[in-house]
Amino acid sequence: MKILIAEDDPTSRLLMQRTLEKFGYDVVLAEDGRAAVEILSQHNGPRLALIDWMMPKLDGLGLCREVRSAHRDGAYVYILLLTSRQDAEDVVAGLEAGADDYITKPFHPAVLQARLHTGRRILSLEETLVRAREEMRFKATHDELTSLWNRAAILSMARNELSRSSREARPFSVLLCDIDRFKRINDNHGHLVGDVVLEEVSRRLISSVRDYDAVGRYGGEEFLIIVSNCDEESLRTRAENVRTAIGSIPIQTGKAELSVSISIGAMTHCCWEHDISLESILAKADAALYNAKAAGRNRAVFALPSIAA
């Protein structure tokens, strides 16, 4: 594990470096407080820091304050403050500045090792809590089976994109996709095979759009794609790319090789012409999807432009 030693005295810095390397740490050195802040601010910088109270350019208390201010939303840095001061007021000042612990000079190596082990336990706990938080956030916004955005999340993104498109006077486009004859797949092959189809269709949808387009599971076998900054002519090309990505290669399900296709209802709204609600846009896309189904499936049908309404 990386650890930063911020100490201006070369002899003390070398002794601490050798001690910590014996403990198995990957040691990073700084000769003053300002250099230490820069190192701790780096991506993948040390999460443990051994900081001397008295340093040039920026002392230990100032360093603690800057690190705490800069890392509010980033990975936590555990700071152990080195000091020869033992007055209660000084200890309180160091902890209030943002230090997690302190150790007085001179110190026994075993005491330092124990204090650092405490810091590592706290960092491990923090990492566990962060992972749990991110997992909860992911589950709240993503579909459990396909890992696509869930209905609530994709609709929220669609509303935000529609508002942004209106402000920036650019088109807002959606593709509403439905797997053809999906009920037949479930009836003939079982729901487990149906789940495999949903997962593979989801992967192909993601791979067929741009990184900044959004794909969500809109319903059971329905998917909503928000295509950013794309006029109707370009959307026709993208819709065909999506349709081809699904239907061009059979899906291997383990039990059977299935030819799967999708029908698409497409809609482009020219946001500079007039305002329209997301519900109206989706209703038009849904009507176009119905027409695609009625016309034989495995095709994209475009809704009438909203400016003609």
Per-residue pLDDT tens for 150-171?
999 999 999 999 999 988 889 9
Q: How buried is 113 (Cβ within 10 angstroms: 0-12 exposed, 13-18 middle, 19+ buried)? A: middle
Residue 11: φ, ψ to 5°:
-65, -50
Residues 37 and 104 in one domain: yes
CA 31/CA 10 separation, integer angstroms: 8
- Residue 214 pairs with which residues in a beta bridge? 226
CA 121/CA 47 separation, integer angstroms: 12
Q: How confident is the model at residue 309, as a pLDDT?
A: 34
Q: How confident is the model at residue 308, as a pLDDT?
A: 37
Residues 72 and 117 in one domain: yes
Structural domain includes residue 146: no
| Catalytic residue annotation | 221
CA 261/CA 291 separation, integer angstroms: 16
Residues 285 and 193 in one domain: yes
Q: Please tell me the least confidently modeled range out of 128-132, 214-218, 254-258, 273-277.
A: 273-277
Confidence band for 70, pLDDT divided at 50, 70 and 90: confident
Structural domain includes residue 145: no
The whole-number average pLDDT for the span 46-54 is 91
Residues 244 and 185 in one domain: yes
Element at 263 (helix H, strand E): strand 262-269
Q: Which domain holds residue 209?
A: 151-308
The whole-number average pLDDT for the span 38-63 is 90
Q: Show which of 140, 166, 193 is a domain's final residue.
A: 140
Q: 288: domain CATH number?
A: 3.30.70.270
Q: Show which of 76, 107, 140 is a domain's final residue.
A: 140
Overall number of domains in the chain: 2
Percent of the chain's residues with pLDDT above 90: 68
CA 97/CA 86 separation, integer angstroms: 16
CA-based nearest residue to 157, from 282, 262, 263: 282
106-137 residue pLDDT tens: 888 899 899 899 999 999 998 899 899 999 99
Residues 241 and 277 in one domain: yes
- Residue 307 pairs with which residues in a beta bridge? none
Residues 131 and 211 in one domain: no
The mean of the pLDDT values for the chain is 90
Q: Show which of 140, 174, 206 is a domain's final residue.
A: 140
Q: What is the pTM of this model?
A: 0.72
Confidence band for 272, pLDDT divided at 50, 70 and 90: low
Structural domain includes residue 263: yes
Alpha-carbon Rg for the chain in angstroms: 29
Residues 197 and 88 in one domain: no
CA 272/CA 267 separation, integer angstroms: 15
Structural domain includes residue 86: yes
